[in-house]
Amino acid sequence: MRYILAIDQGTTSTRAILFDENQNVVKVAQKALTNIFPHPGHVEQDAQEIWLSALSVIQEIFYDGKIKAQEVASIGIANQRETTVIWDKESGQPVYNAIVWQSRQSSYIVDRIKKAGYDNLFKEKTGLLLDPYFSFTKIMWLYENIPGLKNNENLLFGTVDTWLLWKLTGGKVHATDVTNASRTGLMNIAKLDWDDELLKLFDIPRSILPEIKDTAADFGKVLEYYFFAYACPIMSLIGDQQAALFGQSCFKRGESKNTYGTGGFLLINTGASLIKSKHDLLSTVAWKIGNEITYALEGSIFVSGSLIQWLRDSLKIIGKAQDSEAIASSIDDNGGVYIVPAFTGMGAPYWDKKARGLICGLTRGSDHRYLVRAALEAMAYQVKDLLDAVEEDIGYKIDSLRVDGGAASNNFLLQFQSDLLQMPIMRKPMQESTALGAARMAGLKAGVYHYEDFTNDTFTAFEPQKDAEMMNLYYQGWLKAVAKCLKD
């Protein structure tokens, strides 16, 4: 048997997942991570803790000797994107914490760049929007706030893929892949190379940046000492959302997936064409394998499954997230009640930072069931908002949607989503699409997997059961509710 090891380095935990030749999960090890909130709006992690968590989950997979590390053909790493580490290449010590993708600490830098009028240039070159989300302002924040970085020639920058690769290879390889590079705000998305004009503008030295490689490539070998005396090859680095797109077998133009996690991520494969959105969705690299580049459009939803957490932890009207399914199904319709979860403003396609959430349409008969149902419906309406925008951008119709993430286990949500979009919603029995995507990439490169192996996925399909006109009335109600909370 030849195995593929996926490392799924997420925001809340690091996992190692061992797949066999048939893409079945054989073993999983997981370690939780600590988030650090030094000031309001700052989200950081200890980069050494991230590294040690990866080392520890790898050790846990093989420690009992039941499966030999030598049986692993290759390793693939999927990672939380944008999170930024700068370290000293002599000591291997980070100069500061990892600044996490969610962190807003570099907002003031974004404001400065916007004021200088670089919005369009940045968008044009990177496919992104000026926002503290992307790595480059986090790098600038480090240079501006941590003493001793300026003119220090020993520094290296990496997103988490690069940091783990450098550590795993004993400091030999400083590289990233195109998907991760496309989230830094420093890569020219058409040329797939670091953009010298942007580097100059942001005063970031090219010497700290990693080499950009394909998504499936030779990334060097793990130091034997870390891997039970075996120098296992690393053959893929890939951002987590792109990995999920690949794990969901969205290989063709127009194929799309939505993740209903804490937040939501909708990605649409746009094939070899780089599409610039009129609705400010992000253009991103889906993957590059050999000479073939695949792009994607991406829309994120700030509040998705976390709305259910809010019902549970703040309103205390449900005991467990899973209870929401039975409660929402116990009433026939939403009774005109809507929740717009604009807790931190509205993202694509509305882009209104000042918008705040609301609950509307309440009557004397509106009890907790209506709020639960409105919350699940809101998760689905937000996906429709994005898909409608995407269809305008790409000029053709999407005909089905694949789903994953914690809340994708909710049958009410998926049925409602199918009725609302009037298209099949497809859920795989195995929900490990991120890890599977990384394993598939690394397995392809190692010759253990072939594309044909990825075509017989089985899905549970949720087909539309409700009338399109009636669903449109529901949706119009949502649009009216959204209009009430927009401020800009």
Contact residues for ligand ADP (CB under 6 A)?
Answer: 12, 261-262, 305-306, 308-309, 321-322, 324-325, 405-407, 409-410
Nearer to ligand ADP, 56 or 409 (CB): 409
- Collapsing DSSP to helix, strand or coil, 467 comes out as coil
Nearer to ligand ADP, 59 or 409 (CB): 409
- Collapsing DSSP to helix, strand or coil, 461 comes out as strand
Angle of helix 368-394 versus helix 468-485 axis, rounded to 10: 100
**CA–CA separation, 441 vs 432, rounded Å?**
14
Nearer to ligand ADP, 127 or 261 (CB): 261
The distance of closest approach from Cβ of residue 32 to ligand ADP in the complex, given in angstroms and rounded to an integer, is 11
HSE of 455, CA atoms in CB hemisphere, 13 A: 4
DSSP characters over 314-376: TS---SSTTHHHHHHHTSSS-TT-EEE--BTBB-TTT-BTT---EEE---TT--HHHHHHHHH
**CA–CA separation, 457 vs 434, rounded Å?**
15
Q: Tell which residue, 175, 203, 84, has the closest CA to residue 133.
A: 84
80: exposed, middle or buried (C-beta count within 10 Å: 0-12, 13-18, 19+)? buried
The distance of closest approach from Cβ of residue 5 to ligand ADP in the complex, given in angstroms and rounded to an integer, is 20
Nearer to ligand ADP, 297 or 380 (CB): 380
The distance of closest approach from Cβ of residue 321 to ligand ADP in the complex, given in angstroms and rounded to an integer, is 4
Dihedrals φ, ψ of 392, to 5°? -65, -40
Q: Are 16 and 28 in contact (CB under 8 A)?
A: yes
The H-or-E segment that residue 10 falls in is none
**CA–CA separation, 148 vs 476, rounded Å?**
56
**CA–CA separation, 230 vs 68, rounded Å?**
10
Nearer to ligand ADP, 74 or 80 (CB): 80
Nearer to ligand ADP, 275 or 311 (CB): 311
Give the position of tokens 């403003």: 345
Nearer to ligand ADP, 184 or 434 (CB): 434
Give the position of tokens 């009433």: 331
Nearer to ligand ADP, 214 or 419 (CB): 419
Give the position of tokens 């259910």: 308
Task: Name the residue whose CB lies closest to ligand ADP.
Answer: 406
Residues 6+ apart with CB under 8 A from 39: 105
The distance of closest approach from Cβ of residue 412 to ligand ADP in the complex, given in angstroms and rounded to an integer, is 8
The distance of closest approach from Cβ of residue 112 to ligand ADP in the complex, given in angstroms and rounded to an integer, is 31
The distance of closest approach from Cβ of residue 379 to ligand ADP in the complex, given in angstroms and rounded to an integer, is 8
Nearer to ligand ADP, 17 or 209 (CB): 17
Give the position of tokens 């020639």: 153
